[in-house]
Amino acid sequence: MRKEGPVAVGFIVGLVVIIVTYFSAKPLVAIKGELDQWYLIATAFAVAVGLVNLVQIHMRKIQHKREGWGYSIVLIAGIAGFLLFGLTVSSAGDPKFQWMYNTTIVPMNATMYSILVFYIASAAYRAFRIRTGEAAVLLVAAVIVMLGRVTIGEMISPMLPKWTSWIMNVPNTAGMRAITIGATLGGISQALRVLIGIERGHLGGVE
């Protein structure tokens, strides 16, 4: 019963959502709207659970002075600062809160994102080392695409941008679409297995 109950609830709720997707019957649309609200409420509670986990781990780290415990202090101070400021002094839409967000979170996010360029370079270096026939094809295709995307490529040969377009639009798109079709069918099959309860990993137990 520990698993059958949640499976039955999941089946009914899943069925409602599927029916609403294809048939816009008004009572069912209202039920789906209600279910979406429930999901939002559950998510809000889960954030609190996650926050407790995060604080517990870092408090223990500070307590036992484990490696990098200084960073944990910064983290706890950051959480407390944003939480207290948001709950007491200002709200999320307030200019002061926006200023805090724009001067801390935004530049840190941008920093992480910008690091990607170096990772792309190092990953490309490793991927393009010619060790096999496939790697050689990859290298040739990558060089053509990279040169075809920049102005110097057209100066070298006016054919490079055309070859680039062909590589991107024909073999690349064909491969991507094949993977997308397979993944979509796999996703539907996965959803069906979850819906009828033969795959129960999401219920917190092993298969």
Partner 1 sequence: MIAKGLVSAFWLELVYCAAILVLISRSRKGLKVPTVYKVPGLDAMDEAIGRSTEMGRPVFYSPGIGDLQNAQTLASFTTLGYVARQCAKYDTGLIVANRISVVYPITEEIVKQAYATEGKPDSFVPDNVRFFSEDQFAYAAACVGVMHREHPAASILIGGFWAESLIFAEVGSQVGAIQIAGTANTHQIPFFVAACDYCLMGEEIYAAGAYLSKDPVLLGALIGQDWGKMVSVAMIVVGAILATVSPKANWLLTMLKQ
Binding partner 1 (rule: CB under 8 A), the pick from 26, 43, 65, 93 is: 43
Residues 55/63, Cβ–Cβ less than 8 Å: no
Q: Is 96 in the site for partner 1 (CB under 8 A)?
A: no
Q: Is 77 in the site for partner 1 (CB under 8 A)?
A: no
CA dist., res. 70 & res. 139, Å (int): 44
Q: Is 84 in the site for partner 1 (CB under 8 A)?
A: no
CA dist., res. 207 & res. 199, Å (int): 7
Residues 85/100, Cβ–Cβ less than 8 Å: yes
Residues 62/73, Cβ–Cβ less than 8 Å: yes
Q: Is 53 in the site for partner 1 (CB under 8 A)?
A: yes
Task: Give, as ranges, the residues between 5 and 24 that touch partner 1 (CB under 8 A).
Answer: 21-24
Q: How far is the CB of 16 from partner 1 (least distance, A)?
A: 14
Residues 189/170, Cβ–Cβ less than 8 Å: no
Distance, first Cα to last Cα, the chain: 16
Task: Give, as ranges, the residues between 105 and 134 that touch partner 1 (CB under 8 A).
Answer: 105, 108-109, 112-113, 115-116, 119-120, 122-124, 126-127
Q: To which residue do tokens 């781990």 refer?
A: 57
For partner 1, give the closer residue by CB, 165 or 189. Answer: 189
Task: Give, as ranges, the residues between 138 and 197 that touch partner 1 (CB under 8 A).
Answer: 176, 179-183, 185-194, 196
Binding partner 1 (rule: CB under 8 A), the pick from 68, 93, 95, 158 is: 68
Query: At how many degrees (to 10) do helices 26-63 and 69-84 cross?
Result: 140
Residue of 44, 86, 77 whose CA lies nearest to 58: 77
CA dist., res. 31 & res. 110, Å (int): 40
For partner 1, give the closer residue by CB, 80 or 116. Answer: 116
Residue of 48, 51, 19, 49 whose CA lies nearest to 32: 19
Binding partner 1 (rule: CB under 8 A), the pick from 9, 12, 41, 50 is: 50
Binding partner 1 (rule: CB under 8 A), the pick from 2, 4, 49, 133 is: 49
**In the complex, which residues of this chain contact partner 1 (CB under 8 A)?**
21-24, 42-43, 46-47, 49-51, 53-54, 56-57, 60, 67-68, 71, 105, 108-109, 112-113, 115-116, 119-120, 122-124, 126-127, 176, 179-183, 185-194, 196, 198-199, 201-202, 204-207
